[in-house]
Amino acid sequence: MSRSKRRTRTWKLKLSIEELEKHAPAIFGPLLHLVEEGFVLQTSSGIWRKADGTGTARYVYRCGTNREGRSIVLTSRNIPLRYEAA
**2-59 pLDDT tens trace:** 566 667 666 899 999 999 999 999 999 888 887 877 888 999 999 999 888 899 999 9
Question: Domain residues for 64?
Answer: 9-80
Strands 46-50 and 54-63: antiparallel
> Residue 2 falls within a domain, yes or no?
no
Cβ–Cβ < 8 Å for 44, 2: no
Q: Answer for the pair 61, 75: CB distance below 8 angstroms, yes or no.
A: no
Question: In this structure, is residue 86 part of a structural domain?
Answer: no
Within a domain: 3: no
What's the total number of domains in the chain?
A: 1
Which pLDDT band, with edges at 50, 70 and 90, does 86 fall under? Answer: very low
DSSP state letter for 35:
S
Residue 68 lies in a domain: yes
Query: What pLDDT sits at residue 45?
Result: 95
pTM higher than 0.85, yes or no? no
